[in-house]
Structures are given as structure tokens and as C-alpha cells.
């Protein structure tokens, strides 16, 4: 009998040790799971209403069953609680909150009890294994991991990465790459999520940072931080651009990444299934960086609009197809790399557009200011683009134009102001005739031109305007279900080229005025500044 008990104890410890090694979890967790399973089986024998616990000695494997009672002032459940008076008879000095335990005789596990115990142990061990995997891999996000393809499911590839499995989803794989079961593969670990069925480890071979990490493995200067990879843009399996910067003036960042006879970059290209890589020097000057990003195309001129985060790039006529690239690939990657929206124009188109704009401004000044063609062209040449600019510019600046004097400047500015007042009166009269309310006119940011355009589309009150979305003002694209083509739907203020942020601000002002939402409170500093200004 004693020999049998000893064997059982030894067997418990051996099982716990084997499971812990197989699942790479602590032996104590397995022993605790076994104890819980035994306690559950014992409750089936002694009554589920009792608080029965099992203890397993981690050194000897001896199992002890206990019925636990909690000491309380007033007993509500006699199966799990005991009052202070009775507790003190069992254990002098016992107080409320203490626990008393009675040792129970061991129980024989029947088939059902053994099955229940097995389920509890399996569940607890699985949870411990999931926790171990999550804790191990959550800190490895951003690393490259090596693994072996285990299986493919619905286009997703499951990779054995050692003590866990990762998944390369269809959209994170390199197009046309055919991974087979048993293939060794490298991938970028970009996310680990804790989910009910276990931690989900997401891998990618299409992520831009996968290429950056490959360069850090192939180029010692990148690994050491002498060369920085400042930006990456990829069209996986086809082409990529990578912007590099050297912190050591004696080291050429592009040359270091290319390597002797292209050995370093070729190693990365091979890993990425022949993906062509443009390595370009990064520059803190946005215009220079954009010109570099459009390589191998040559750029003649760059015109930047920082408010819209757009840039207009002018290239020679013969360089247009090279700058745009096959299916727009070159300009798209350059845009991703720099963070700027890039518009490509040829020198011929840009010249024609500039000429047209010049003629339109000259004609505007001739008609509005009642001046001859020469003076209209002179004002356009000096960079004036609107009547407002002429009306508001400093008189001395206007008088400094060749052939002008202070009297001419004063006369031009007076005519410009008269023209603006006349135009304003006409627009306001049109606004009133369209039935657009004064309350809508009072919305900050809306001009008379905006109001007339809205009135012509039946938008006449603050409530009408407050119901808009930004897209409905600026215009948006939608896909035609029959032709599967993207079609642009014009917005109510489409002709004004409103930025989305400006459209959102106008709508917000209208909703505040309509009482739909409350105006945000001013910051304490702003409130204090305004109070000081009022008192001074």
C-alpha cells in the first residue's frame, strides 16, 4: 500500500515535470492545475457546496485534501462559514476573516472524476502556455523572426517560429510568392494580440519595416546607427524606395547600403523576391528630398503648398513617363516616402498654364480697374493675383513698381476698393434674392461667394448647412457598381477647393450656432488674456 502511494506521488511529480518541459511553462503552474483538478473531483464526492481545496507538496508529491471554513460574525452559508464562537472552540484566538481547515480522507477517482480532472488540467495548462507565448512575443514586435512554413489556410500562411505559431495573412505576403510547407522563411513581427483562442502573432513580408530591418542585418553601419533609415515606401514584390541619412560625413549612406558591386542591396533584393530598390539620400529640406525621391527622373522646378501639403513638380516633357512610372508607381512611392501629395506637370503644360493665368489676371485688372493692357500686365507680372491684394497692399510697395508713383498707387487702390465694395453689394443682393438667411451669413468662415453657391443649391438656413458632412462640401469619390470605376461626386462648395479641415471647421461653427452642440470652452490662458485685454 505504501509502495503504491509512493509510486502515485512520484508519478504526479513526473507528469508535472514532463508537461512543464513540453509546454515551456513553470512546473509550479502545472502542479497548481493538478491541485485544482483534484479539488474539483473531491467536491463531486463531498458536495459541490463545500469549499474543498487540494494541496500537492512539490517535493514529495503528497496530496492533501482540506475543507475550508471562513470565520465570520454572522453565518450566511453554513457549508463555507463558521461563527467566531464555534471557531474559537476549534482554534483559540480565531477572529473574523480567519480560515479554518479540516483534513479530509483521500478519494478514489472514478472515470468521470478523472475525465473532469483531465479537462481542468488541460485548460489551465493551455491558458498558462498562451500567457507564456504572449509575454514572450509581445516585446519582440518590430523584430525579424525566422520560422518554417507549417501549413496554408485560405491564403494565409502559418509559420512555426519556435515556441509559437505566427500567421502571414494574404495581404501581408509578397504577391506571387509561393511558400510551400517546410520552407524556411523570414518575416517581420508587427503585432501580437491577446485573444480568447490564444495570442495571435501577426507576421509580414510586405511591411515597409521588413525591408528596413533587412538592411540593418546586411549593412553594419545601419545596425550600428551610423546610417539612419529615415523613410521607406514599398510596392511589395515590385519596387521600393528607401531614404537614408549618414551621421558620419565621411560615409556615403547610399554607397554603404549598395555595398561592393551591389552585394548588400542584392542580398535584400533576393529576400524580397527580386523587388527593385531605389536608395536615395534623405534631406531635411523638403523640396530637395522630393526631387531625390522622384529619381531616376530629373526635375526642373518644385512649387510647394505647405498649407495643403501638396507639391507641384515640373519635369522636362521627355521625363514625364519616367517621373510618373509604370501605372503611377514612381510618383506614388515618392509621395508615400516624403509624405507630400505630388502633382507632376511637364514644362510645356506648366508654361501654358502660367500663360493662361497671367492673361486672366491681366484681363481682370484691365476691366476692374479701368486701366490699359500694359498696366494690367504690369500688375500681373509683379505677382498680384486678386483685387484684394491690390486694395490691401502697402501704398509704398505699389508705388515702387516701375512707371508708378504715389498718386498712381492711391488711384489704383481706390479703384480696387470701389470694385470690391460694388462686387460685395452685388453678391449680397444675390444672396438675399436667393433667400439665404442672415444667420447663415453670420457663420464665421463663410464668404458671400460661398453663400451664393449654397443658395443656388437650396441651402438657405443654418440648420440646412449644419447637416452637411465635410465630403458633401468638398466632393468625394465613389465606385460605380456597373463599371467598377471611381467617379467623383462634386461637393456643394466644389469650385472653391476647400481643404477638408476648413470644411469641418465651417460645419462645426454652424452646428454650434444652430445649438446642436456646445462651443468648446476656451483654455484658461486664453480666457485670462482676453480678460486682461478687456480691462486695459
CA distance 266 to 86: 82
Q: Which of 57-61, 379-383, 465-469 has the lowest mean pLDDT?
A: 57-61
- At residue 458, does pLDDT exceed 90? yes
Query: 488711384: which residue's cell?
Result: 411
* Proportion of the chain above pLDDT 70, given as a percent: 90
- At residue 428, does pLDDT exceed 90? yes
Section 197-205 average pLDDT:
84
Which of 137, 145, 144, 172 minimizes the C-alpha distance to 161?
Answer: 145
Higher pLDDT, 52 or 420: 420
Confidence (pLDDT) at 27:
72
Q: Which of 3-7, 141-145, 284-288, 408-412 has the lowest mean pLDDT?
A: 3-7
- At residue 11, does pLDDT exceed 70? no
- At residue 303, does pLDDT exceed 90? no
CATH, range 283-369: 3.30.300.20
Higher pLDDT, 34 or 7: 34
Section 427-444 average pLDDT:
93
Confidence (pLDDT) at 533:
43
97-130 confidence digits (pLDDT tens): 777 777 777 766 555 555 666 676 777 777 777 7
- At residue 174, does pLDDT exceed 80? yes
Say which residues have a Cβ less than 8 Å from residue 291's Cβ, sequence separation at least 6. 299, 302, 313
Higher pLDDT, 113 or 497: 497
Confidence (pLDDT) at 73:
79
Q: 192-226 burial, b for 16+ CB within 10 Å, e for fewer?
A: beeeeebbebbbbbbbbbbbbbbbbebbebbeeeb
Q: Which of 277-281, 468-472, 487-491, 521-525 has the lowest mean pLDDT?
A: 521-525
CA distance 443 to 511: 10
185 SS3 class: strand
CA distance 187 to 210: 7
Section 466-473 average pLDDT:
92
Confidence (pLDDT) at 317:
87
The fold of 2-132 is: N Utilization Substance Protein A; Chain:P; domain 4 (3.30.1480)
Query: For residue 468, what pLDDT band results from cuts at 50, 70 and 90?
Result: very high
Please state the domain extents for the chain: 2-132, 140-206, 283-369, 434-536
Confidence (pLDDT) at 475:
87
Confidence (pLDDT) at 3:
34
Section 13-33 average pLDDT:
71
Say which residues have a Cβ less than 8 Å from residue 294's Cβ, sequence separation at least 6. 313, 315, 323, 330, 331, 334, 342
69-83 confidence digits (pLDDT tens): 788 877 777 777 778
371-406 confidence digits (pLDDT tens): 888 888 888 888 888 888 888 888 888 888 888 888
Confidence (pLDDT) at 53:
78
CA distance 461 to 192: 51
Global confidence as pTM = 0.59
Q: What average pLDDT does the structure give for the chain? A: 84
Confidence (pLDDT) at 110:
56
CA distance 513 to 439: 8
CA distance 146 to 183: 11
* Proportion of the chain above pLDDT 90, given as a percent: 37
- At residue 142, does pLDDT exceed 60? yes
- At residue 41, does pLDDT exceed 80? no
CATH, range 140-206: 2.40.50.140
CA distance 353 to 430: 32
Amino acid at each position: 500500500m505504501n509502495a503504491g502511494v509512493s509510486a502515485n506521488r512520484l508519478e504526479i511529480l513526473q507528469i508535472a515535470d514532463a508537461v512543464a518541459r513540453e509546454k515551456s511553462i513553470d512546473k509550479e503552474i502545472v502542479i497548481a492545475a493538478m491541485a485544482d483538478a483534484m479539488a474539483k473531483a473531491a467536491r463531486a464526492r463531498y458536495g459541490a457546496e463545500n469549499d474543498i481545496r487540494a494541496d500537492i507538496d512539490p517535493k514529495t508529491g503528497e496530496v492533501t485534501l482540506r475543507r475550508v471554513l471562513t470565520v465570520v460574525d454572522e453565518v450566511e452559508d453554513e457549508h463555507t462559514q463558521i461563527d467566531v464562537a464555534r471557531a474559537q472552540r476549534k482554534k483559540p484566538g480565531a477572529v473574523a476573516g480567519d480560515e479554518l481547515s479540516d483534513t479530509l480522507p483521500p478519494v478514489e477517482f472514478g472515470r468521470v472524476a478523472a475525465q473532469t480532472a483531465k479537462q481542468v488540467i488541460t485548460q489551465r495548462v493551455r491558458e498558462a502556455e498562451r500567457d507564456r507565448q504572449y509575454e514572450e512575443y509581445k516585446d519582440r514586435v518590430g523584430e525579424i523572426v525566422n520560422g518554417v512554413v507549417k501549413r496554408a489556410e485560405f491564403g494565409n500562411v502559418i509559420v512555426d517560429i519556435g515556441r509559437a505559431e505566427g500567421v502571414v495573412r494574404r495581404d501581408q505576403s509578397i504577391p506571387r510568392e509561393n511558400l510551400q510547407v517546410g520552407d524556411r522563411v523570414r518575416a517581420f513581427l508587427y503585432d501580437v494580440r491577446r485573444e480568447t483562442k490564444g495570442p495571435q502573432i501577426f507576421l509580414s513580408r510586405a511591411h515597409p519595416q521588413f525591408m528596413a530591418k533587412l538592411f540593418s542585418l546586411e549593412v553594419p553601419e545601419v545596425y550600428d546607427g551610423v546610417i539612419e533609415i529615415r523613410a521607406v515606401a514599398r510596392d511589395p514584390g515590385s519596387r521600393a524606395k528607401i531614404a537614408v541619412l549618414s551621421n558620419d560625413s565621411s560615409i556615403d549612406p547610399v554607397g554603404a547600403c549598395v555595398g561592393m558591386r551591389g552585394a548588400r542591396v542584392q542580398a535584400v533584393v533576393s529576400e524580397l523576391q527580386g523587388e527593385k530598390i531605389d536608395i536615395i539620400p534623405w534631406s531635411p529640406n523638403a523640396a530637395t528630398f522630393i526631387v531625390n525621391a522622384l529619381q531616376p527622373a530629373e526635375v526642373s522646378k518644385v512649387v510647394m503648398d505647405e498649407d495643403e501639403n501638396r507639391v507641384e513638380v515640373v519635369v522636362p516633357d521627355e521625363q514625364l513617363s519616367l517621373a510618373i512610372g509604370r501605372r503611377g508607381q514612381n510618383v506614388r512611392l515618392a509621395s508615400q516616402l516624403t509624405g507630400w501629395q505630388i502633382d507632376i506637370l511637364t514644362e510645356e503644360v506648366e508654361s501654358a498654364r502660367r500663360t493662361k493665368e497671367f492673361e486672366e489676371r491681366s484681363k481682370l485688372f484691365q476691366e476692374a480697374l479701368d486701366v490699359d493692357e500694359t498696366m494690367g500686365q504690369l500688375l500681373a507680372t509683379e505677382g498680384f493675383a486678386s483685387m484684394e491684394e491690390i486694395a490691401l497692399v502697402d501704398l509704398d510697395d505699389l508705388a515702387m513698381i516701375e512707371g508708378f508713383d504715389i498718386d498712381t498707387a492711391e488711384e489704383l487702390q481706390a479703384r480696387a476698393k470701389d470694385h470690391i465694395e460694388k462686387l460685395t453689394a452685388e453678391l449680397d443682393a444675390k444672396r438675399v434674392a436667393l433667400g439665404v438667411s442672415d444667420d447663415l451669413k453670420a457663420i464665421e468662415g463663410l464668404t458671400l461667394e460661398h453663400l451664393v453657391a449654397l443658395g443656388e443649391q437650396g441651402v438657405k438656413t443654418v440648420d440646412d448647412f449644419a447637416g452637411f458632412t465635410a465630403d458633401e462640401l468638398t466632393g468625394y469619390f465613389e465606385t460605380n457598381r456597373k463599371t467598377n470605376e471611381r467617379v467623383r461626386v462634386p461637393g456643394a462648395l466644389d469650385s472653391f477647393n476647400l481643404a477638408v479641415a476648413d470644411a469641418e471647421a465651417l460645419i462645426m461653427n454652424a452646428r454650434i450656432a444652430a445649438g446642436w452642440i456646445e462651443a468648446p470652452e476656451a483654455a484658461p490662458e486664453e480666457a485670462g488674456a482676453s480678460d486682461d485685454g478687456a480691462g486695459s
